[in-house]
Structure 1
Amino acid sequence: MERRLKHLVVLSGAGISAESGLSTFRDFNGLWHHYRVEEVASLDAWKKHPKLVLEFYNERRRQAIEAKPNAGHQALAMLEQHYQVTIITQNVDHLHEQAGSSSVVHLHGELFKARSTLDPELVYQLQGTELNWGDTCEQGSQLRPHIVWFGEEVSQFKHAAHLVRQADIFIVVGTSLAVYPASSLLHHVPEDTPKYIIDPRRPELPRIPNVSFIQAVASRGLPQLARELIALESLAR
Protein backbone atom coordinates (compact mmCIF):
# COMPACT_ATOMS: atom_id res chain seq x y z
CA MET A 1 0.00 0.00 0.00
CA GLU A 2 1.41 3.39 -1.02
CA ARG A 3 2.24 5.67 1.89
CA ARG A 4 0.28 8.94 2.07
CA LEU A 5 2.37 12.05 1.62
CA LYS A 6 2.16 14.44 4.54
CA HIS A 7 0.37 17.68 3.75
CA LEU A 8 2.66 20.68 4.13
CA VAL A 9 0.79 24.01 4.05
CA VAL A 10 2.69 27.29 3.62
CA LEU A 11 1.52 30.85 4.25
CA SER A 12 3.78 33.23 2.32
CA GLY A 13 3.91 37.01 2.25
CA ALA A 14 5.64 39.98 0.68
CA GLY A 15 9.04 39.25 2.25
CA ILE A 16 9.76 36.31 -0.04
CA SER A 17 8.92 38.39 -3.15
CA ALA A 18 10.95 41.34 -1.88
CA GLU A 19 14.07 39.16 -2.08
CA SER A 20 13.38 38.81 -5.81
CA GLY A 21 13.34 42.58 -6.14
CA LEU A 22 9.59 43.26 -5.95
CA SER A 23 8.60 46.35 -3.99
CA THR A 24 6.14 45.91 -1.15
CA PHE A 25 3.61 48.49 0.01
CA ARG A 26 5.95 49.17 2.91
CA ASP A 27 8.74 49.95 0.46
CA PHE A 28 6.62 52.78 -0.89
CA ASN A 29 6.45 54.24 2.65
CA GLY A 30 2.72 54.46 2.02
CA LEU A 31 3.24 56.55 -1.13
CA TRP A 32 3.38 55.93 -4.87
CA HIS A 33 4.19 58.92 -7.08
CA HIS A 34 3.01 61.15 -4.19
CA TYR A 35 -0.28 59.24 -3.88
CA ARG A 36 -1.18 57.31 -0.75
CA VAL A 37 -1.30 53.60 -1.56
CA GLU A 38 -4.94 53.50 -0.41
CA GLU A 39 -5.67 56.00 -3.19
CA VAL A 40 -4.66 53.45 -5.83
CA ALA A 41 -5.62 50.17 -4.15
CA SER A 42 -9.24 50.52 -3.06
CA LEU A 43 -12.69 50.36 -4.59
CA ASP A 44 -13.18 54.03 -3.75
CA ALA A 45 -10.00 54.86 -5.67
CA TRP A 46 -11.25 52.85 -8.66
CA LYS A 47 -14.50 54.83 -8.69
CA LYS A 48 -12.72 58.19 -8.42
CA HIS A 49 -9.75 57.76 -10.76
CA PRO A 50 -9.69 54.35 -12.50
CA LYS A 51 -6.97 55.28 -15.00
CA LEU A 52 -4.58 56.05 -12.14
CA VAL A 53 -5.38 52.70 -10.55
CA LEU A 54 -4.78 50.90 -13.84
CA GLU A 55 -1.39 52.58 -14.24
CA PHE A 56 -0.39 51.63 -10.69
CA TYR A 57 -0.96 47.95 -11.48
CA ASN A 58 0.57 48.21 -14.95
CA GLU A 59 3.72 49.44 -13.24
CA ARG A 60 3.56 46.55 -10.76
CA ARG A 61 3.30 44.11 -13.69
CA ARG A 62 6.24 45.66 -15.52
CA GLN A 63 8.29 45.18 -12.37
CA ALA A 64 7.00 41.65 -11.69
CA ILE A 65 7.68 40.35 -15.20
CA GLU A 66 11.39 41.06 -14.69
CA ALA A 67 11.57 39.26 -11.32
CA LYS A 68 12.87 35.72 -10.92
CA PRO A 69 12.14 33.15 -8.19
CA ASN A 70 14.75 33.03 -5.44
CA ALA A 71 16.10 30.15 -3.35
CA GLY A 72 13.08 30.34 -1.04
CA HIS A 73 10.60 29.79 -3.86
CA GLN A 74 12.77 27.01 -5.25
CA ALA A 75 12.99 25.23 -1.88
CA LEU A 76 9.19 25.10 -1.63
CA ALA A 77 8.95 23.68 -5.15
CA MET A 78 11.57 21.04 -4.31
CA LEU A 79 9.57 19.92 -1.26
CA GLU A 80 6.85 18.62 -3.62
CA GLN A 81 9.10 15.63 -4.27
CA HIS A 82 8.60 14.58 -0.64
CA TYR A 83 5.34 16.17 0.55
CA GLN A 84 1.94 17.27 -0.66
CA VAL A 85 2.58 21.03 -0.67
CA THR A 86 -0.07 23.74 -0.74
CA ILE A 87 1.00 27.39 -0.75
CA ILE A 88 -1.40 30.04 0.46
CA THR A 89 0.12 33.33 -0.58
CA GLN A 90 -0.70 36.95 0.13
CA ASN A 91 1.42 37.83 -2.91
CA VAL A 92 -0.14 38.70 -6.26
CA ASP A 93 2.90 37.75 -8.37
CA HIS A 94 3.48 34.31 -9.88
CA LEU A 95 6.96 33.61 -8.51
CA HIS A 96 5.82 30.46 -6.69
CA GLU A 97 4.41 29.06 -9.93
CA GLN A 98 7.51 30.09 -11.88
CA ALA A 99 9.65 28.16 -9.40
CA GLY A 100 7.59 25.03 -10.04
CA SER A 101 5.03 24.97 -7.21
CA SER A 102 1.86 23.31 -8.51
CA SER A 103 -0.73 24.19 -5.85
CA VAL A 104 -0.92 27.91 -5.05
CA VAL A 105 -3.90 29.76 -3.54
CA HIS A 106 -3.72 33.54 -4.05
CA LEU A 107 -5.54 35.18 -1.14
CA HIS A 108 -5.26 38.72 -2.49
CA GLY A 109 -5.71 38.04 -6.19
CA GLU A 110 -3.36 37.74 -9.15
CA LEU A 111 -1.48 40.53 -10.86
CA PHE A 112 -1.53 38.95 -14.32
CA LYS A 113 -5.30 38.48 -14.40
CA ALA A 114 -8.18 40.89 -14.94
CA ARG A 115 -11.86 40.56 -14.18
CA SER A 116 -15.13 42.08 -15.28
CA THR A 117 -16.58 44.96 -13.27
CA LEU A 118 -20.03 43.60 -14.15
CA ASP A 119 -19.55 39.89 -13.40
CA PRO A 120 -16.73 38.97 -10.96
CA GLU A 121 -16.86 35.38 -12.23
CA LEU A 122 -15.47 36.55 -15.59
CA VAL A 123 -11.70 36.39 -15.03
CA TYR A 124 -9.14 36.65 -17.82
CA GLN A 125 -5.43 35.91 -18.13
CA LEU A 126 -3.64 39.07 -19.26
CA GLN A 127 -1.42 38.96 -22.29
CA GLY A 128 1.51 41.23 -21.42
CA THR A 129 1.66 43.87 -18.71
CA GLU A 130 -0.94 46.44 -19.77
CA LEU A 131 -4.57 46.74 -18.70
CA ASN A 132 -6.05 49.97 -20.01
CA TRP A 133 -9.19 52.05 -19.83
CA GLY A 134 -11.47 50.75 -22.59
CA ASP A 135 -10.43 47.10 -22.22
CA THR A 136 -13.70 45.24 -21.70
CA CYS A 137 -15.04 41.79 -20.88
CA GLU A 138 -17.22 39.74 -23.26
CA GLN A 139 -20.27 41.51 -21.83
CA GLY A 140 -18.85 44.91 -22.67
CA SER A 141 -17.97 46.13 -19.15
CA GLN A 142 -14.60 47.60 -18.17
CA LEU A 143 -11.98 45.17 -16.88
CA ARG A 144 -10.34 45.83 -13.51
CA PRO A 145 -7.28 44.27 -11.84
CA HIS A 146 -8.05 40.84 -10.35
CA ILE A 147 -6.85 42.09 -6.98
CA VAL A 148 -8.45 42.20 -3.53
CA TRP A 149 -8.36 45.89 -2.66
CA PHE A 150 -8.43 47.46 0.79
CA GLY A 151 -11.89 47.00 2.24
CA GLU A 152 -12.92 44.15 -0.09
CA GLU A 153 -13.78 40.62 1.01
CA VAL A 154 -11.02 38.01 0.81
CA SER A 155 -13.14 35.43 -0.99
CA GLN A 156 -10.48 32.70 -0.79
CA PHE A 157 -10.19 32.90 2.99
CA LYS A 158 -12.66 30.10 3.82
CA HIS A 159 -10.90 27.78 1.38
CA ALA A 160 -7.52 28.73 2.88
CA ALA A 161 -8.77 28.09 6.43
CA HIS A 162 -10.03 24.66 5.34
CA LEU A 163 -6.61 23.80 3.90
CA VAL A 164 -4.82 25.00 7.03
CA ARG A 165 -6.97 22.78 9.23
CA GLN A 166 -5.75 19.78 7.20
CA ALA A 167 -2.05 20.61 7.57
CA ASP A 168 0.38 18.02 8.92
CA ILE A 169 3.07 20.73 8.89
CA PHE A 170 2.54 24.49 8.68
CA ILE A 171 5.11 27.09 7.56
CA VAL A 172 4.86 30.88 7.72
CA VAL A 173 7.39 32.82 5.64
CA GLY A 174 7.78 36.39 4.43
CA THR A 175 4.92 37.82 6.48
CA SER A 176 4.81 39.60 9.83
CA LEU A 177 1.30 38.22 10.45
CA ALA A 178 0.02 41.78 10.70
CA VAL A 179 -2.49 41.71 7.82
CA TYR A 180 -5.98 40.45 8.64
CA PRO A 181 -7.58 38.03 7.82
CA ALA A 182 -4.46 36.17 6.58
CA SER A 183 -2.86 36.59 10.02
CA SER A 184 -5.69 34.64 11.64
CA LEU A 185 -4.91 31.49 9.62
CA LEU A 186 -2.35 30.52 12.24
CA HIS A 187 -5.20 30.03 14.70
CA HIS A 188 -6.88 27.50 12.40
CA VAL A 189 -3.88 25.14 12.47
CA PRO A 190 -4.44 22.08 14.72
CA GLU A 191 -2.61 22.41 18.04
CA ASP A 192 -0.53 19.26 17.53
CA THR A 193 0.64 20.30 14.05
CA PRO A 194 4.31 21.40 13.92
CA LYS A 195 4.54 25.07 12.95
CA TYR A 196 7.60 26.88 11.61
CA ILE A 197 7.88 30.65 11.33
CA ILE A 198 10.70 32.00 9.17
CA ASP A 199 11.39 35.68 9.78
CA PRO A 200 14.59 37.68 10.35
CA ARG A 201 12.73 39.52 13.13
CA ARG A 202 10.89 37.19 15.48
CA PRO A 203 7.24 38.35 15.48
CA GLU A 204 5.29 38.91 18.69
CA LEU A 205 2.63 36.21 18.82
CA PRO A 206 0.07 34.94 21.32
CA ARG A 207 0.91 31.63 22.93
CA ILE A 208 0.57 28.98 20.23
CA PRO A 209 1.75 25.39 20.75
CA ASN A 210 4.36 23.57 18.66
CA VAL A 211 5.97 26.65 17.10
CA SER A 212 9.60 26.76 16.00
CA PHE A 213 11.26 30.01 14.88
CA ILE A 214 13.93 30.34 12.22
CA GLN A 215 15.35 33.86 12.31
CA ALA A 216 16.43 34.26 8.70
CA VAL A 217 15.21 35.71 5.41
CA ALA A 218 13.18 33.39 3.20
CA SER A 219 16.00 32.64 0.75
CA ARG A 220 18.13 31.27 3.60
CA GLY A 221 15.57 29.95 6.06
CA LEU A 222 13.46 27.96 3.60
CA PRO A 223 16.32 25.93 2.08
CA GLN A 224 17.53 25.16 5.62
CA LEU A 225 14.08 24.03 6.74
CA ALA A 226 13.51 22.08 3.51
CA ARG A 227 16.66 20.06 4.11
CA GLU A 228 15.53 19.29 7.67
CA LEU A 229 12.03 18.25 6.60
CA ILE A 230 13.33 16.06 3.77
CA ALA A 231 15.72 14.35 6.20
CA LEU A 232 12.85 13.76 8.67
CA GLU A 233 10.68 12.31 5.95
CA SER A 234 13.49 10.01 4.78
CA LEU A 235 13.93 8.68 8.31
CA ALA A 236 10.19 7.99 8.60
CA ARG A 237 10.13 5.74 5.55
Structure 2
Amino acid sequence: MDFISPDSCKNIVILTGSGISAESGMATFRDKDGVWSKYDYREVATPEGFAANPALVHEFYNARRRSLFEIEPNPAHRALAELETGLAARGGKLTLITQNVDDLHERGGMQNILHMHGELLKAVCNACGEIHDWRDDLSVEHVCRKCERSGAMRPYVVWFGEIPRYMDEAAEAIDSADLFVSVGTSGSVYPAAGFVAEARAAGAPAMELNLEPSENAFLFTDSRYGPATEIVPAWASDFLQAIG
Protein backbone atom coordinates (compact mmCIF):
# COMPACT_ATOMS: atom_id res chain seq x y z
CA MET A 1 0.00 0.00 0.00
CA ASP A 2 3.04 2.28 -0.13
CA PHE A 3 1.84 4.01 -3.30
CA ILE A 4 -1.38 5.23 -1.66
CA SER A 5 -1.52 8.76 -0.30
CA PRO A 6 -4.46 9.02 2.14
CA ASP A 7 -5.13 12.61 1.12
CA SER A 8 -5.30 11.84 -2.58
CA CYS A 9 -7.35 8.61 -2.65
CA LYS A 10 -10.84 10.08 -2.85
CA ASN A 11 -12.01 8.46 -6.08
CA ILE A 12 -11.51 4.77 -6.75
CA VAL A 13 -12.57 2.82 -9.83
CA ILE A 14 -12.85 -0.94 -9.48
CA LEU A 15 -13.32 -3.28 -12.45
CA THR A 16 -14.62 -6.76 -11.69
CA GLY A 17 -14.76 -9.87 -13.86
CA SER A 18 -15.95 -13.44 -13.55
CA GLY A 19 -13.24 -14.31 -11.01
CA ILE A 20 -15.09 -12.52 -8.22
CA SER A 21 -18.32 -14.46 -8.78
CA ALA A 22 -16.76 -17.84 -9.54
CA GLU A 23 -16.36 -18.64 -5.85
CA SER A 24 -20.09 -18.11 -5.39
CA GLY A 25 -20.70 -20.81 -8.01
CA MET A 26 -21.30 -18.58 -11.03
CA ALA A 27 -19.99 -20.24 -14.19
CA THR A 28 -17.06 -18.55 -15.90
CA PHE A 29 -16.75 -18.29 -19.68
CA ARG A 30 -13.17 -18.61 -20.88
CA ASP A 31 -11.69 -21.15 -18.46
CA LYS A 32 -10.89 -24.67 -19.62
CA ASP A 33 -14.28 -25.94 -18.41
CA GLY A 34 -16.08 -22.62 -18.85
CA VAL A 35 -19.32 -21.85 -20.64
CA TRP A 36 -17.72 -21.42 -24.05
CA SER A 37 -16.23 -24.90 -23.87
CA LYS A 38 -19.80 -26.24 -23.83
CA TYR A 39 -21.61 -23.80 -26.15
CA ASP A 40 -20.83 -22.09 -29.42
CA TYR A 41 -21.03 -18.40 -28.54
CA ARG A 42 -22.09 -17.63 -32.13
CA GLU A 43 -25.30 -19.55 -31.55
CA VAL A 44 -26.28 -18.18 -28.13
CA ALA A 45 -24.51 -14.83 -27.68
CA THR A 46 -24.76 -12.90 -30.94
CA PRO A 47 -27.56 -10.95 -32.62
CA GLU A 48 -27.26 -13.34 -35.55
CA GLY A 49 -27.70 -16.36 -33.29
CA PHE A 50 -30.79 -14.83 -31.74
CA ALA A 51 -32.28 -14.07 -35.16
CA ALA A 52 -31.62 -17.64 -36.31
CA ASN A 53 -32.84 -19.48 -33.20
CA PRO A 54 -34.35 -17.28 -30.50
CA ALA A 55 -35.72 -20.28 -28.61
CA LEU A 56 -32.20 -21.67 -28.14
CA VAL A 57 -30.91 -18.31 -26.92
CA HIS A 58 -33.79 -17.96 -24.48
CA GLU A 59 -33.15 -21.49 -23.20
CA PHE A 60 -29.47 -20.65 -22.61
CA TYR A 61 -30.19 -17.45 -20.68
CA ASN A 62 -33.15 -18.88 -18.80
CA ALA A 63 -30.84 -21.52 -17.34
CA ARG A 64 -28.29 -18.89 -16.37
CA ARG A 65 -30.97 -16.66 -14.86
CA ARG A 66 -32.36 -19.52 -12.76
CA SER A 67 -28.86 -20.36 -11.52
CA LEU A 68 -28.62 -16.92 -9.90
CA PHE A 69 -31.26 -17.87 -7.36
CA GLU A 70 -29.13 -20.79 -6.17
CA ILE A 71 -26.03 -18.76 -5.27
CA GLU A 72 -25.17 -15.97 -2.86
CA PRO A 73 -22.67 -13.10 -2.79
CA ASN A 74 -19.36 -14.07 -1.22
CA PRO A 75 -16.98 -12.20 1.11
CA ALA A 76 -15.32 -10.46 -1.84
CA HIS A 77 -18.60 -8.89 -2.96
CA ARG A 78 -19.40 -7.81 0.59
CA ALA A 79 -15.91 -6.42 1.15
CA LEU A 80 -16.22 -4.12 -1.87
CA ALA A 81 -19.59 -2.88 -0.60
CA GLU A 82 -18.02 -2.17 2.80
CA LEU A 83 -15.20 -0.33 1.05
CA GLU A 84 -17.74 1.77 -0.85
CA THR A 85 -19.47 2.70 2.42
CA GLY A 86 -16.19 3.38 4.22
CA LEU A 87 -14.86 5.54 1.42
CA ALA A 88 -18.10 7.55 1.25
CA ALA A 89 -17.89 8.18 5.00
CA ARG A 90 -14.46 9.71 4.38
CA GLY A 91 -15.73 11.97 1.60
CA GLY A 92 -14.67 9.73 -1.24
CA LYS A 93 -16.39 7.76 -4.00
CA LEU A 94 -16.12 4.26 -5.40
CA THR A 95 -17.30 3.52 -8.94
CA LEU A 96 -17.62 -0.16 -9.72
CA ILE A 97 -17.54 -1.25 -13.36
CA THR A 98 -18.43 -4.90 -13.77
CA GLN A 99 -18.24 -7.23 -16.74
CA ASN A 100 -20.52 -9.63 -14.87
CA VAL A 101 -24.22 -9.90 -15.66
CA ASP A 102 -25.15 -11.40 -12.29
CA ASP A 103 -26.64 -9.40 -9.40
CA LEU A 104 -24.18 -10.50 -6.71
CA HIS A 105 -22.69 -7.03 -6.26
CA GLU A 106 -26.17 -5.61 -5.63
CA ARG A 107 -27.04 -8.35 -3.18
CA GLY A 108 -23.66 -7.87 -1.53
CA GLY A 109 -24.59 -4.25 -0.76
CA MET A 110 -22.89 -2.29 -3.55
CA GLN A 111 -24.68 0.84 -4.75
CA ASN A 112 -22.75 2.56 -7.56
CA ILE A 113 -22.47 -0.09 -10.31
CA LEU A 114 -22.00 0.16 -14.06
CA HIS A 115 -23.01 -3.13 -15.71
CA MET A 116 -21.10 -2.77 -18.96
CA HIS A 117 -22.25 -6.16 -20.28
CA GLY A 118 -25.87 -5.90 -19.15
CA GLU A 119 -27.87 -7.75 -16.50
CA LEU A 120 -29.41 -11.21 -16.42
CA LEU A 121 -32.35 -10.03 -14.36
CA LYS A 122 -33.50 -7.60 -17.02
CA ALA A 123 -35.01 -7.96 -20.50
CA VAL A 124 -35.24 -5.46 -23.32
CA CYS A 125 -37.68 -5.10 -26.19
CA ASN A 126 -36.00 -5.06 -29.58
CA ALA A 127 -38.99 -3.20 -31.00
CA CYS A 128 -39.29 -0.21 -28.67
CA GLY A 129 -36.17 -0.41 -26.49
CA GLU A 130 -38.05 -0.60 -23.19
CA ILE A 131 -36.05 -2.28 -20.41
CA HIS A 132 -37.94 -4.51 -17.99
CA ASP A 133 -36.96 -6.11 -14.69
CA TRP A 134 -37.19 -9.84 -15.40
CA ARG A 135 -36.74 -12.71 -12.95
CA ASP A 136 -38.71 -15.45 -14.74
CA ASP A 137 -38.05 -17.46 -17.88
CA LEU A 138 -38.25 -15.49 -21.13
CA SER A 139 -39.58 -16.77 -24.46
CA VAL A 140 -40.61 -15.64 -27.92
CA GLU A 141 -44.22 -15.67 -26.73
CA HIS A 142 -43.70 -12.90 -24.19
CA VAL A 143 -45.23 -9.52 -24.95
CA CYS A 144 -43.55 -6.22 -24.21
CA ARG A 145 -45.52 -4.46 -21.49
CA LYS A 146 -44.98 -1.08 -23.19
CA CYS A 147 -45.46 -1.57 -26.95
CA GLU A 148 -47.39 -4.87 -26.61
CA ARG A 149 -45.41 -6.57 -29.37
CA SER A 150 -44.67 -10.25 -29.04
CA GLY A 151 -41.50 -12.00 -30.15
CA ALA A 152 -39.27 -8.94 -29.65
CA MET A 153 -38.18 -9.49 -26.05
CA ARG A 154 -34.53 -10.50 -25.52
CA PRO A 155 -32.11 -10.79 -22.60
CA TYR A 156 -30.63 -7.46 -21.51
CA VAL A 157 -27.12 -8.74 -22.15
CA VAL A 158 -24.42 -7.35 -24.43
CA TRP A 159 -23.63 -9.94 -27.09
CA PHE A 160 -20.55 -10.36 -29.23
CA GLY A 161 -20.49 -7.62 -31.83
CA GLU A 162 -22.51 -5.20 -29.67
CA ILE A 163 -21.22 -2.09 -27.92
CA PRO A 164 -20.82 -2.39 -24.12
CA ARG A 165 -22.93 -0.06 -22.02
CA TYR A 166 -21.89 2.90 -19.87
CA MET A 167 -18.65 3.50 -21.75
CA ASP A 168 -18.87 7.28 -21.37
CA GLU A 169 -19.51 7.00 -17.64
CA ALA A 170 -16.67 4.51 -17.26
CA ALA A 171 -14.24 6.73 -19.16
CA GLU A 172 -15.17 9.75 -17.05
CA ALA A 173 -14.70 7.81 -13.81
CA ILE A 174 -11.34 6.37 -14.91
CA ASP A 175 -10.07 9.77 -16.05
CA SER A 176 -10.66 11.25 -12.59
CA ALA A 177 -9.66 8.19 -10.54
CA ASP A 178 -6.97 8.34 -7.85
CA LEU A 179 -6.67 4.55 -7.95
CA PHE A 180 -7.74 1.84 -10.41
CA VAL A 181 -8.31 -1.71 -9.16
CA SER A 182 -8.99 -4.83 -11.24
CA VAL A 183 -10.55 -7.84 -9.53
CA GLY A 184 -10.88 -11.29 -11.08
CA THR A 185 -10.35 -10.39 -14.73
CA SER A 186 -8.38 -12.13 -17.46
CA GLY A 187 -7.08 -8.94 -19.06
CA SER A 188 -8.01 -10.32 -22.48
CA VAL A 189 -11.53 -8.96 -23.11
CA TYR A 190 -11.72 -5.48 -24.59
CA PRO A 191 -12.66 -2.74 -24.02
CA ALA A 192 -12.42 -3.60 -20.29
CA ALA A 193 -8.87 -4.90 -20.68
CA GLY A 194 -7.83 -1.44 -21.82
CA PHE A 195 -9.11 0.35 -18.72
CA VAL A 196 -5.87 -0.10 -16.76
CA ALA A 197 -3.87 1.56 -19.54
CA GLU A 198 -6.35 4.45 -19.55
CA ALA A 199 -6.00 4.83 -15.78
CA ARG A 200 -2.21 4.76 -15.93
CA ALA A 201 -2.22 7.31 -18.75
CA ALA A 202 -4.33 9.57 -16.53
CA GLY A 203 -1.74 9.26 -13.76
CA ALA A 204 -3.48 6.80 -11.43
CA PRO A 205 -1.73 3.84 -9.79
CA ALA A 206 -3.30 0.45 -10.44
CA MET A 207 -3.80 -2.64 -8.28
CA GLU A 208 -4.51 -6.14 -9.59
CA LEU A 209 -6.37 -8.60 -7.35
CA ASN A 210 -6.61 -11.91 -9.15
CA LEU A 211 -6.22 -15.65 -8.84
CA GLU A 212 -3.16 -15.41 -11.08
CA PRO A 213 -1.51 -12.69 -13.19
CA SER A 214 -3.71 -11.46 -16.03
CA GLU A 215 -2.58 -10.99 -19.61
CA ASN A 216 -1.92 -7.31 -18.89
CA ALA A 217 -0.47 -7.74 -15.39
CA PHE A 218 2.64 -5.77 -16.40
CA LEU A 219 0.57 -2.57 -16.49
CA PHE A 220 -0.28 -2.67 -12.79
CA THR A 221 1.79 -0.93 -10.14
CA ASP A 222 0.88 -3.42 -7.41
CA SER A 223 -0.79 -6.82 -7.15
CA ARG A 224 -2.06 -9.54 -4.86
CA TYR A 225 -2.81 -13.05 -6.06
CA GLY A 226 -5.04 -15.74 -4.59
CA PRO A 227 -8.74 -16.60 -4.17
CA ALA A 228 -10.94 -13.51 -4.36
CA THR A 229 -12.71 -14.43 -1.13
CA GLU A 230 -9.37 -14.12 0.67
CA ILE A 231 -7.42 -11.36 -1.03
CA VAL A 232 -10.23 -8.87 -1.68
CA PRO A 233 -11.44 -8.58 1.94
CA ALA A 234 -7.83 -8.38 3.16
CA TRP A 235 -6.94 -5.67 0.65
CA ALA A 236 -10.13 -3.66 1.32
CA SER A 237 -9.45 -3.75 5.06
CA ASP A 238 -5.83 -2.68 4.55
CA PHE A 239 -6.93 0.14 2.25
CA LEU A 240 -9.43 1.59 4.71
CA GLN A 241 -6.82 1.46 7.46
CA ALA A 242 -4.27 3.17 5.20
CA ILE A 243 -6.52 6.13 4.40
CA GLY A 244 -7.52 6.53 8.05
TM above 0.5, yes or no, is: yes
Q: Deviations over 1:91-121 (max 9, x none)?
A: 000100100001010000000000011123x
Confirm or deny that 1:98 pairs with 2:102: no
Alignment of 1:78-227 (within 5 A): 78-83=82-87, 84-120=93-129, 122-126=130-134, 128-137=135-144, 138-141=146-149, 142-191=152-201, 192-205=203-216, 208=219, 211-227=221-237
For residues 82 and 160 of structure 1, the distance between their equivalents in structure 2, rounded to whole angstroms, comes to 22
Instruction: Decide whether the 8 Å contact of 2:122 with 2:133 is kept in 1.
Output: yes
Pairwise CA distance, 1:29: 5.5
Q: Note if contact 1:148-1:154 (Cα within 8 Å) is conserved in structure 2.
A: yes
Give the whole-Å Cα distance in 2 for the aligned partners of 1:40 and 1:189.
33
AA paired with 1:231? Q
Unaligned runs of 5+ in 2: 1-6, 88-92
Residue 8 in structure 1 maps to residue 18 in structure 2? no
Q: Which amino acid is 1:176 matched to?
A: S
For structure 1, which runs of at least 5 residues remain unmatched after alignment?
Answer: none
The AA in structure 1 aligned to 2:138 is L
The secondary structure found in structure 2 opposite 1:68 is: coil
Partners of 1:199 and 1:217 within 8 A in 2: yes
Alignment RMSD (CA, Å): 1.9
Change (3 A) 1:95 1:78: same
The reply to whether residue 69 of structure 1 matches residue 78 of structure 2 is: no
2:9–2:178 Cα contact (<8 Å) kept: no
User: Would the aligned equivalents of 2:193 and 2:216 in 1 still touch at CA under 8 Å?
Assistant: no
Q: Distance in 2 between matches of 1:200 and 1:28?
A: 16
Amino acid at match of 1:230: L
**Normalising to structure 2: TM-score of the pair?**
0.87
Q: Tell me by how many angstroms 1:205 deviates.
A: 2.6
Maintained 8 Å contact 1:61/1:112: yes
1:28 equivalent in alignment to 2:34? yes
Q: 1:135: Cα distance to partner?
A: 0.9
Task: For residues 129-172 of structure 1, give each alpha carbon's deviation from its aligned partner in whole angstroms, at most 9, with x where no partner exists.
Answer: 31112112121332100000011111322221111112112110
Distance 1:94 1:223 in 2: 19
Q: Secondary structure at the match of 1:172?
A: strand
Give 3-state SS (helix, strand or coil) of 2:15's partner.
strand
- Aligned equivalent of 2:90: none
| Alignment partners' CA distance in 1, 2:182 and 2:8 | 23
Shift of 1:200: 2.0
- C-alpha distance in 1, partners of 2:34/2:183? 21
Over the matched positions of the two proteins, sequence identity in percent amounts to 37
For residues 190 and 28 of structure 1, what CA distance do their matches in structure 2 show? 31
Contact 1:157 / 1:182 at 8 angstroms: preserved in 2? no
Which segment is superposed worse, 199-208 or 46-55?
199-208
* Alpha-carbon shift at residue 187 of structure 1 (Å): 1.7
Letter in 1 for 2:113: V
